[in-house]
Amino acid sequence: MTGSIAFLSETRSDCDLNACGLTLNIGRQRLTEEEFNALLLKAQKEGVLERQVKMLKGEVVNTSENRQALHTSLRSEDPASPHYEEVNETRERMYALAEAVRNGQWLGATGKKITDVINVGIGGSEMGPHAVYHALRDINPSIRLHFLSAVDGVLADRILGVLNPETTLTIISSKSFSTRETMLNAELVNEWYEKAGIRTQKERACHVFLVSAKESACQEMNLPEENRFPIWSWVGGRFSVWGAIGLPLVIALGPDVFKAFLRGAHEMDRHMIGAKPEENLPLTLALLSYWNSTKLSMVSHCLLPYDERLRLVVAWLQQLEMESLGKSVRPDGSIITTRTGQAVWGGFGNEAQHSFYQWLRDGSSRTSIDLVWCDEPGHTHAHHHLVLNANAQAQAEALVTRQSPSEEFFNAVTTIRIKKLTPETLGAFMALYEHKTTMLATLYGLNAFDQPAVEYGKRLCRELEAKLSC
């Protein structure tokens, strides 16, 4: 390797970190072992891990909204975890409904078996479930899952135009039950059912379920109370795939798959708490991201999965990090003068090679990159997998080297090997990035769990919609 700024592998003999079926190699990061050790000391001084433990225990960490942030409780197997009883009760209700739908005990209003599920939701109510479904859909493909998110009518027509309302279950997911896009699409789906003769409360109750924190949501939708699954105030939307927001996944993939997904995430939680700092995967990712953004002025971070199943994880991560870290004000109102967070983007690695890798490799910007591949394929085409992984490993090297070494421009690459993509390792992978994000918030001195700019944009849209409707 060449370049005037050192690679970590030049000063550190072992650059692999292993946990939960994942292996991180950080040897292509641009710092010395001494500098990395200084970052570990900074994490200790800032109490990064201690704050994570406080979060898991239920202390108020969302200070601007005076709330807990207990998405980890949604996947916990520990009866001592905060809110365990109500979480477990909701999980059991989810599993019971899913089993009834999948085995044909739960039928539509006309007595037909459910074959399709529509998830009506946007943002955190769509991106997490969509990414997981895309990754795992081949495990239990008997029930198809569709995602109606945006208010572009083309999307609605493409989904509703090919489905039979008599065999379709709809799950409307909105924490506030006021998200404009979701409620507008919910109205459209209700009209679709009405045109099919599914009109009474009893009939609609066979087809429509709600996931919301709003206790009056069922009353507003003329549905029985048992058709609502709760979201709690202590779970943020972008962290919510582990709870009732995952109900469409439980139905489409089966309870056993979802349980395994939760178990993998919980194992990453346990690793995050128990691992030595120098062996801690999410802490390592957070520290490297902090270094790259604040010290090396890398304004963007690129996620490049070399596995079709992980394609939609890019969009999920984009929301997770940019909505959590895209802030310039501390909880006490003071202005943050240093860089906070990075612009997150990416794509399916093999396609991206023929799209934007020229910019990554020879362009004039610095980019931090996570390049991901799976050791075992999810198909039977052995040579395809060999070529795909050869591309991944070759590009990990190509993206940090130049034909003519430049002192000014360079990238930093972390590779993440997933031994085998399973529900467990997918859960661990996504939990890894959740912890990375909340740790980064501590390092930057900001609140990861609110989204004031998003709320401001919603208010302006409501005002403009009212004006345009006149």
Cβ–Cβ under 8 Å, residues 322 and 343: yes
Long-range Cβ contacts of 6-13 (<8 Å, 24+ apart): 6/30, 6/31, 6/32, 7/400, 8/32, 8/33, 8/36, 12/36
Burial class (CB in 10 A: 0-12, 13-18, 19+), 455: exposed
Of the listed 166, 323, 424, 434, which one is catalytic? Answer: 323
Cβ–Cβ under 8 Å, residues 329 and 336: yes
Determine whether 354 is an active site residue: yes
Of the listed 45, 354, 383, 467, which one is catalytic? Answer: 354
Determine whether 434 is an active site residue: no
Tokens 């609110």, residue located: 450
The total number of residues shown for the chain amounts to 470
Determine whether 379 is an active site residue: no
Cβ–Cβ under 8 Å, residues 248 and 129: yes
Nearest CA to 135 among 393, 433, 374? 374
d(CA 316, CA 311): 10
**What is the β-pairing status of strands 367-374 and 300-306?**
parallel
Nearest CA to 433 among 275, 293, 320, 292? 320
CA angle 16, 19, 25 (to 5 degrees): 20
CA angle 50, 54, 58 (to 5 degrees): 170
Q: How many CB atoms lie within 10 A of CB 158?
A: 12
**How far, in whole angstroms, is CA 349 from its chain's centroid?**
18
Three-state secondary structure of 261-277: HHHHHHHHHHHHHHCCH
d(CA 164, CA 161): 8
Burial class (CB in 10 A: 0-12, 13-18, 19+), 264: buried
d(CA 307, CA 234): 33
Catalytic residues: 323, 354, 458
